[in-house]
């Protein structure tokens, strides 16, 4: 199989035509339009589509529900690639937590992107200054299908909380959450996301709101026991109302695919990103500090896709 595929590729190269013989559409799963995943997907597609004449790939990156929805869509073959939190990449590949009984053995890592602190932002008038203060309040947990919704469940389990501990646990999408905070429909929103991002900027410009630290022995234990969690800080001064650094924990945004996706396709996508890396980094402030070394190692728990490994090997980045 592999032999024939390589022959076809060789034939195409000899004939001077792209290795992907016919125009092929690929879809990248992202997240809400006010998040950073959407920018990741759009940016990757923009770089891929600059080279369509050479490689015959056309890329689209629609808005989706987020990490869990993306992984499920890739597993079902409905999408080719997607952005997902490192914790959910881990659980999908290992068939644990949310993916128990629904293991995605063919999950493959491509690279990681920006860090995503688990972020809590509360109305300044809500009487919330610690994570424990969320008890009894109206809290937006996020939409089911998002990674953050699932990660909030993990945090709640660690604390022994259930949804009943909140006066309201709403499931609004990122695009709706800032307005809900501003309109006093919720006291706080929870969002695991790269910074700065549009949704939180929108929230703090509509109402006085503050970032709430997420710390304590249960959080320390989550970090100590799970390789995909790390201590994180949201830098002071990034958002109005939060002049000081805020401590929390976080994950990494990662780019994932399936071993069912053709090596040449993944190779071309990875090449489009890393051949144009400076351009990529300029497409969002959350990408500014990305380094190639970290992107091909940190936060990846599924094996590297063969197409990605081929590019990294060619560059001398891996053995
Ligand atoms: N981490 C969020 C999730 O998996 C998405 C954040 C974003 O869209 O940037 O649902």
Residue 279: half-sphere exposure toward Cβ, Cα within 13 Å: 13
What range does the domain containing 212 cover? 116-251
Residue of 29, 30, 35, 201 best suited for mutating to test ligand 1, as the one with most atoms within 8 Å of CB: 35
- Judge if 91 and 107 occupy the same domain: yes
Q: What average pLDDT does the segment 255-268 reach?
A: 98
Instruction: Dump strand ranges (E) for 124-258.
Output: 138-140, 168-170, 188-192, 209-212, 230-234, 246-258
Coil, strand or helix: which one is 186?
coil
For residue 268, the model assigns a pLDDT of: 98
Protein residues whose CB sits closer than 6 Å to any atom of ligand 1: 31-32, 35-37, 66-67, 85, 116, 146-148, 192-194
Residue at a domain's end among 251, 269, 284? 251
Model-level pTM?
A: 0.94
Coil, strand or helix: which one is 72?
helix
Neighbour tally for 168: CB within 10 Å: 13
Which ligand 1 atom sits closest to the C-alpha of 116?
1
Residues 41-83 pLDDT 10s: 999 999 999 999 999 999 999 999 999 999 999 999 999 999 9
CA-based radius of gyration for the chain? 20
CATH code of the domain covering residue 178:
3.40.190.10
Residues 80-111 pLDDT 10s: 999 999 999 999 999 999 999 999 999 999 99
Q: How far is the CA of 20 from the centre of ligand 1 (A)?
A: 31
- Judge if 206 and 222 occupy the same domain: yes
Residue at a domain's end among 225, 251, 277? 251
Question: CA 13 to CA 28: how far, in whole Å?
Answer: 26
For residue 3, the model assigns a pLDDT of: 47
For residue 119, the model assigns a pLDDT of: 98
Which ligand 1 atom sits closest to the C-alpha of 192?
1
- Judge if 229 and 284 occupy the same domain: no
Q: Is 319 domain-assigned?
A: no
Residue of 30, 65, 66 best suited for mutating to test ligand 1, as the one with most atoms within 8 Å of CB: 66
Which ligand 1 atom sits closest to the C-alpha of 40?
9
- Judge if 246 and 154 occupy the same domain: yes
| pLDDT of 1 over the 50 cut | no
5 vs 296: which has the higher pLDDT: 296
| pLDDT of 129 over the 60 cut | yes
- Judge if 110 and 11 occupy the same domain: yes
Q: Is 262 domain-assigned?
A: yes
Beta bridge partners of 250: 117, 230
- Judge if 175 and 188 occupy the same domain: yes
Q: How far is the CA of 35 from the centre of ligand 1 (A)?
A: 6
pLDDT level of residue 223 (50, 70, 90 thresholds): very high
Nearest to 43 by CA among 67, 19, 59: 59
Q: State how many domains the chain has.
A: 2
Query: In degrees rounded to 5, what are phi and psi of residue 182?
Result: -65, -40
Spell 57-76 as b/e; 16+ CB within 10 A means b: bebebebbbbbbbbbbbbbe
Question: CA 177 to CA 174: how far, in whole Å?
Answer: 5
- Judge if 126 and 242 occupy the same domain: yes
């Amino acid at each position: 199989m592999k032999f024939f595929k390589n022959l076809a590729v060789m034939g195409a190269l000899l004939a001077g035509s792209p290795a992907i013989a016919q125009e092929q559409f690929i879809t990248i799963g992202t997240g809400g339009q006010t998040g950073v995943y959407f920018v990741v997907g759009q940016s990757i597609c923009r770089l891929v589509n600059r080279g369509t004449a050479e490689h015959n790939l056309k890329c689209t990156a629609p808005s989706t529900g987020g990490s869990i929805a993306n992984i499920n869509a890739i597993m079902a073959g409905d999408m080719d690639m997607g952005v997902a939190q490192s914790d959910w990449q881990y659980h999908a590949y290992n068939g644990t937590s949310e993916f128990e009984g629904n293991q995605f053995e063919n999950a493959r890592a491509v690279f990681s992107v920006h860090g995503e602190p688990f972020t809590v932002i509360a109305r300044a008038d809500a009487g919330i200054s610690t994570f424990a203060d969320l008890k009894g309040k109206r809290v937006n947990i996020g939409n089911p299908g998002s990674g953050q919704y699932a990660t909030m469940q993990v945090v709640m389990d660690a604390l022994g909380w259930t949804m009943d501990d909140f006066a309201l646990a709403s499931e609004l999408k990122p695009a709706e959450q800032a307005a809900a905070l501003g309109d006093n429909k919720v006291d706080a929103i929870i969002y695991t996301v790269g910074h700065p991002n549009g949704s939180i900027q929108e929230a703090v410009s509509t109402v006085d709101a503050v970032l709430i630290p997420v710390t304590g022995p249960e959080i320390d234990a989550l970090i100590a026991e799970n390789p995909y969690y790390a201590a994180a800080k949201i830098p002071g001064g990034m958002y109005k109302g939060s002049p000081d650094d805020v401590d929390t924990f976080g994950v990494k945004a990662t780019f994932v695919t399936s071993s069912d996706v053709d090596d040449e396709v993944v190779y071309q996508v990875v090449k489009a990103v890393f051949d144009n890396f400076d351009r990529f980094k300029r497409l969002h402030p959350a990408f500014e500090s990305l380094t190639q070394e970290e992107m091909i190692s940190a936060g990846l728990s599924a094996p590297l896709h063969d197409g990605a490994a081929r590019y990294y090997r060619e560059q001398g980045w891996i053995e």
